[in-house]
Chains A and B, each alone.
Chain A
């Protein structure tokens, strides 16, 4: 049953991922990305990672993709003005690299013998009474507390950086929008 559910979500994720790289309009790529995010979140739920699944939906699909769409609308590179891209030589190297990577990594993953894998039957059997979210919270605020604070500083730095970046206008920009910013 788990395999069937996983297969459904995996096909959805692959469809979204291929949609990101193969469609012409950036808005269609964003839709493909949202489909992939939701499918991967469903797989997280399947694997028992409930908190991470919710954070995936809220942060990735709900904030990051929305930010992408905002920028696409701001720069007006939607379907009508989509970039006409040429299929360059780098593209062939890229496809070759991707196929080669999948082949090598797939062979490595599938070469692991079945016998030496002491996997637990269900998520609760693996964790006992704690459950993933409680264990996650315990680890995050006790063991990895310093990393947590550092990530907060990273987010603060990103916030300050974005504010600075959009504050100074380019020389070919409009004079009146610079006046509006002041």
Chain B
């Protein structure tokens, strides 16, 4: 693995993560917000795998495995919450989810 490939992989990981961050702050649709969170997780996973290859150990991939399992659980619960909120107030606009605000 050449140093250039290593740096390119890390750069892509950073760009994917920050694209997810920008998406979370820009988009108002709750479902697309969630997709941007998945983008962030993918960026982090790519960094894990890159370092795993660089160090020659598989520990990074074990963590990727766990991150994927937790991401699946999180998506299931988050989408169930969105569906429940949608039943009460038929909107997925996060700007309208302001019942807890005074």
| Chain A contact residues, CB within 8 Å of chain B | 2-3, 6-7, 10, 13-14, 17-18, 20-21, 26, 29-30, 33, 36-37, 40, 43-44, 47-49, 51-52, 55-56, 59-60, 63-64, 67-68, 71-72, 74-75, 77, 82-83, 85-88, 90-91, 93-95, 97-99, 101-102, 105-106, 109-110, 112, 114, 117, 119-123, 126-127, 132, 135-136, 138-140, 144, 147, 151, 154-155, 157-159, 161-162, 165-166, 168-173
Please count how many residues in chain B sit with their CB below 8 Å of the partner chain's CB atoms.
Answer: 76
Q: Is A169 touching B75 in the complex (CB atoms < 8 A)?
A: no
B interface vs A, CB < 8 Å?
A: 1-12, 14-29, 31-32, 34-36, 38-39, 42, 45-46, 49-50, 52-59, 61-62, 64-66, 68-77, 79-84, 86-89, 92-93, 95
B84–A166 contact, CB under 8 A? yes
Selected A-B contacts with CB under 8 Å, 30 pairs: A3-B2, A10-B12, A14-B19, A17-B16, A17-B20, A40-B45, A43-B12, A47-B1, A47-B9, A52-B64, A55-B65, A56-B68, A59-B69, A68-B31, A83-B28, A86-B28, A87-B26, A95-B26, A97-B22, A102-B14, A106-B14, A114-B3, A119-B1, A139-B58, A155-B69, A155-B73, A158-B76, A162-B77, A166-B83, A170-B87
